[in-house]
Structure 1
Amino acid sequence: MFERFTAKARDVVIRAQAEDIARGADAIRSEHLLAALVQVPDTIALMVLTGFSVTPADVLADVDALGTTPSDSEALASIGIDLDEVRRQVEEAFGPGALDRTMAARGGRKNGRTPFDRTAKKVMELALREAIALKHNYIGTEHILLGMLHSETGAAQRILAARNVQQHVARVMVEELVRGKRAG
């Protein structure tokens, strides 16, 4: 599927990985894709967002406002589990550094690649479906944006909905902008 992505859509995916790392997340989420999407200049997705009076600064502020989730140790401590004690017992049973050899210790990355979480995977799947529905033989930033506007795509959809970005209106705008690019 990645071969059908335009250069700018590929840039979104690459930037989303950087967003994930910069925000200390363990996977690329839909909000990382959204933050990356608004940072790629001169795209149909940005034109659509501008049509809704949404700026990259607005979106980045909204993504920043999501904050970070509590650390694993904080979450476990809140239910009475001492992570240091768990580590001690694991190392006693499996040897020193046993937990450091796991994929989780590498930040969930396998072979240097950051995994996509369920919402980011859904955005990509829906981007493909949007491209097919519009009879486009490529996946561009506009399709990624339209994919984000579906209700099952997590934080990206909630951010866009809060900014009153409506899927059916965005789709019409995409159709008009693509038609204008072909004509011009």
Structure 2
Amino acid sequence: MFERFTEDARQVVKGAQEEARGLRHTHIGTEHLLLGLLRRPQMLSAQVLNDHGLDHGHAITTITRLLGTSTGDLDADALETIGIDLSAVREKVEAAFGPGALDRPPGRDRRRALLGGRHIPFTSRAKKVLELSLREALAMKHKDIRDGHILLGLLREGEGLGVRIMTHSGVDPASLRAALRTRLG
């Protein structure tokens, strides 16, 4: 299925993984796909969502409020009492080794070279959204899956946190779907 994804659609999936890592979540859910869709303002899905009143900043604030982040606040407070600023340490390590570097267990490849990054699994709802994006593309007689199709899949799934964030933000799913279908052609 991923061979049908356009570069923008692939960037949505990669962006969802980066968003999950940045929030220190242990899964990639529909909320992370939504953030991936909103991440690049030049993409069709981000433009349509912005036109309907939802932007990346608002979405991430809502997700953080609902799910939180796994930052280890108690550990940070304990370290701060002895003069260690964990956020400054994390910032420097991530600047050198990439987002989530402290959260990844070290691994080795076949040649015993160190590997970075741990796999973050997709939830069943997020997988369903990606499957539905294919169905949306086929229904529109498109040969490839674009970022807009992923958003249509998110709307079609209809029950995940991604859709709840949209509706909580005042986005009407029916009008968003109509606008997307028009823009996708």
Q: Structure 2 length normalisation: TM-score? A: 0.67
Q: Are the aligned partners of 2:128 and 2:157 in contact in 1 as well (CA < 8 Å)? A: no
Q: Alignment identity in percent?
A: 36
Q: How far apart in 1 are the matches of 2:158 and 2:58?
A: 22
DSSP-derived class of the 2:133 partner: helix
Q: Are the aligned partners of 1:122 and 1:152 in contact in 2 as well (CA < 8 Å)? A: no
Residues 1:116 and 2:125 are matched in the alignment: no
Instruction: Count matched residues.
Output: 143
Q: Are the aligned partners of 1:123 and 1:153 in contact in 2 as well (CA < 8 Å)? A: no
Q: Are the aligned partners of 1:8 and 1:40 in contact in 2 as well (CA < 8 Å)? A: no
* CA positional deviation for 1:151: 4.9
Q: How far apart in 2 are the matches of 1:175 and 1:66?
A: 30
Query: Which runs of 5 or more residues in structure 2 are unaligned?
Result: 71-103, 106-116
1:115-134 correspondence to structure 2 within 5 Å: 115-134=121-140
Using a 3 Å threshold, how does the CA distance of structure 1 residues 21 and 69 change in structure 2: closer, same or farther?
closer
Residues 1:61 and 2:75 are matched in the alignment: no
Residue of structure 1 in register with 2:34 after alignment: 34
Tell me the amino acid that sits aligned with residue 168 of structure 2.
A
* CA positional deviation for 1:69: 7.8
1:1-184 correspondence to structure 2 within 5 Å: 1-68=1-68, 112-179=118-185
Query: Which runs of 5 or more residues in structure 1 are unaligned?
Result: 71-104, 180-184
Using a 3 Å threshold, how does the CA distance of structure 1 residues 165 and 126 change in structure 2: closer, same or farther?
farther
Q: Are the aligned partners of 2:62 and 2:165 in contact in 1 as well (CA < 8 Å)? A: yes
Once structures 1 and 2 are overlaid, which stretch shifts more, 51-60 or 37-46? 51-60
Q: Could you say what the CA RMSD is over the residues aligned between the two structures, in angstroms? A: 2.5
Tell me the amino acid that sits aligned with residue 154 of structure 1.
G
DSSP-derived class of the 1:150 partner: helix
CA distances 1:51-80 after superposition (whole Å, capped 9, x unpaired) = 21222222222222223389xxxxxxxxxx
Using a 3 Å threshold, how does the CA distance of structure 1 residues 164 and 131 change in structure 2: closer, same or farther?
farther
Tell me the amino acid that sits aligned with residue 11 of structure 1.
Q
Using a 3 Å threshold, how does the CA distance of structure 1 residues 171 and 135 change in structure 2: closer, same or farther?
farther
Runs of 4+ off more than 6 Å: none
Tell me the amino acid that sits aligned with residue 54 of structure 1.
L
Using a 3 Å threshold, how does the CA distance of structure 1 residues 162 and 19 change in structure 2: closer, same or farther?
same
Q: Are the aligned partners of 1:34 and 1:156 in contact in 2 as well (CA < 8 Å)? A: yes
Rg comparison, structure with higher value: 1
Tell me the amino acid that sits aligned with residue 135 of structure 2.
R
Q: Are the aligned partners of 1:120 and 1:153 in contact in 2 as well (CA < 8 Å)? A: no
Q: Are the aligned partners of 1:17 and 1:114 in contact in 2 as well (CA < 8 Å)? A: yes
